[in-house]
């Protein structure tokens, strides 16, 4: 397995341990491809996005970069719920990921939440949050 796979699996397993009621995966799927029961409980998908910002000192090329990770949260509320319920469910996921980044084990200690975006109620009763994260290599 690659170092990238090891890092992604470490993020996945740490998140799954912290939030056992949620499905945590590395396989992004459309809402329609997910069981409704999983969507109602909430799903986190850990994705590798890119790497860059390498140091350029002699002997250190590409050794200490910044790995960008995208974490996608998917959730569903009942169809009879108001659109604000979707936003509220996303808000719970936002709070969870903030808490997750404050309680990381040493091997993931440099994982940082840099921003997030949410569905803005546009896909109600489905909601999503995309979390931008970085993991400093070195």
pLDDT digits (tens, 9 = 90+) for 27-50: 999 999 999 999 999 999 999 877
pLDDT digits (tens, 9 = 90+) for 53-80: 656 665 555 556 778 899 999 999 999 9
Residue 13, phi-psi category: left (phi > 0), alpha (psi -120 to 50), beta (remainder): alpha
Q: Which residues have CB under 8 Å from 78's CB, separation 6+?
A: 85, 125
The whole-model pTM stands at 0.89
Neighbours of 116 (CB within 10 A): 17
Greatest CA separation found in the chain? 61
Token pair for 93:
């996921």
Please answer whether residues 116 and 131 qualify as being in contact, where contact means their C-beta atoms are separated by less than 8 angstroms: yes
b/e per residue 13-42 (b: at least 16 CB within 10 A): ebbeeebeebbbbeeeeebeebeeebbeeb
3-55+63-136 CATH pick, 2.30.110.10, 3.40.50.12280, 3.30.2000.10, 3.20.20.70:
3.30.2000.10
**Would you kindly state where each structural domain of the chain is located, as residue ranges?**
3-55+63-136
């Amino acid at each position: 397995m690659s170092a990238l796979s090891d890092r992604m699996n470490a993020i996945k397993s740490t998140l799954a341990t912290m939030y056992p009621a949620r499905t945590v995966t590395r396989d992004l799927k459309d809402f329609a491809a997910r069981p409704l029961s999983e969507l109602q409980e909430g799903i986190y998908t850990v994705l590798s996005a890119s790497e860059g910002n390498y140091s350029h000192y002699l002997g250190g090329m590409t050794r200490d970069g910044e790995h960008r990770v995208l974490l996608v949260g998917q959730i569903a509320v009942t169809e009879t719920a108001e659109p604000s319920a979707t936003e509220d469910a996303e808000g719970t996921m936002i709070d969870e990921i903030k808490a997750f980044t404050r309680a990381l084990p040493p091997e993931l200690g440099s994982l940082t939440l840099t921003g997030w975006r949410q569905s803005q109620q546009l896909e109600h009763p489905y909601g999503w949050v995309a979390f931008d994260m970085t993991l400093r290599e070195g």
